[in-house]
Structure 1
Amino acid sequence: MRETTVDSLDLKLLRALAEDGRASHVVLGDRIGLSASAVARRQRSLEESGLIAGYRAVIGLKALGLGTTVIVRITLDSQSEEALSAFETAVARCPSVIRCFLMAAADDYLVLVAARDIADYERIHTVELSRLPHVARLQSSFALREVVDRPMPIDALTR
């Protein structure tokens, strides 16, 4: 990964891809005023620099029956390198965990869990989360509804 300078056309391309990551080079070129081959070159450069980290489908969790989002704050019994590594390896294997962050706060990790309902989360808490290595404390909060879910604001790159 190399550092790159981002110009106004790169920003336009990033915005267009954030709106529709499946758009063809031709469609993207029409949107930003470049040829398809120029779009392909710029997109490849943005990928190589790490500004485009990947592509994925956004799955509707509610459509899958996973309508309950739980934010879990986890504190470990140790902050040793071994404890952190063991926890991170194990949490990455938990099928219900959709995001996990190492924190610089009172809690060591913030974990987002997708569950069917509260009973399903009780199972996840008991079978998955509480059995993770070095867990000393779990604090769970239930999201009532999602207010904002958007990709990285491209304009933040120009600040």
Structure 2
Amino acid sequence: MIALDDTDRQILRALAEDGTLNAGALGRRLGMSQPSAWRRVKRLQEAGVLAGTRVVIDRAAVGFGVTVFLGIKLATRGRVSLEDFERAAGAIPEVQVIQHVLGQFDYRLQVTARDIPDFERVLRRRIMTLPAVGHVEANVMLSEERRLGPLG
């Protein structure tokens, strides 16, 4: 674990808001030189604090207006390995996130679909046919608020 100072935290906040900032723009925003900003970002990358850059796609703008979170309880753990379930779930294009969790469910999946009938098709033809699926609970996302996380 790397020790973060206030400048590191400011860099992380700025990049969390806009991951396209280059070192020059980042330096201007934070009142530091471009080389200094570049060295700081490089240090954070090498330490594994910055693990990549992602593009956030507005799912509704590209025709996927429904997001559903599924809680999945596997029927039999011994017959099918967790890796088999994860591999099969990962092969479904509509499954955006697969989380192995502790608690009431074994897995939590984030599924995107064009609309509710499209989600029903994905659920019936793909999700319910995954290895060892037992109980499935669905929660349809109504709205979403993105937070930057614990950077301070």
Give TM-score, length-normalised by structure 2: 0.92
Is residue 65 of structure 2 the alignment partner of residue 67 of structure 1? yes
Q: Select 2:147's aligned residue among 136, 147, 150.
A: 150
Other-structure match for 1:30 = 28
Name the structure 1 match of 2:118: 120
**Among candidates 11, 15, 31, match of residue 17 of structure 1:** 15
* Aligned twin of 1:44: 42
> Aligned-pair distance for 1:79?
3.5
- Corresponding residue pairs, total: 152
> Any stretches of 5+ residues in structure 1 without a counterpart?
none
Identity of aligned residues (%): 36
Counterpart residue type for residue 46 of structure 1 = L
The answer to whether the 8 Å contact 1:83/1:134 transfers is: no
Amino acid paired to 1:5: A
Superposed, which structure 2 residues align to 1:52-91 within 5 Å?
52-80=50-78, 83-91=81-89
Look up the SS of the partner of 1:154 in the other structure: coil
Structure 1 vs Structure 2 CA RMSD: 1.6
Aligned 8 A contact 2:13 2:148 in 1: no
Residue in 1 aligned with 2:5?
7
Paired AA for residue 44 in structure 1: K
User: Structure 1's 104 and 16: CA in aligned 2 closer, same or farther, altered over 3 A?
Assistant: same
Q: Following the alignment from structure 1 to structure 2, what is the Cα–Cα distance between the partners of residues 4 and 52? A: 12
> Residue deviations 1:22-48, cap 9 Å, x none?
012111011122211111111111112
TM-score calculated relative to the size of structure 1: 0.88
- SS in structure 1 opposite 2:54? coil
How far off its partner does 1:115 sit? Answer: 0.8
SS at match of 1:98: strand
Give the whole-Å Cα distance in 2 for the aligned partners of 1:66 and 1:153.
Answer: 29
Stretches of structure 2 lacking an aligned partner (at least 5 in a row): none
SS in 2 for 1:145: coil
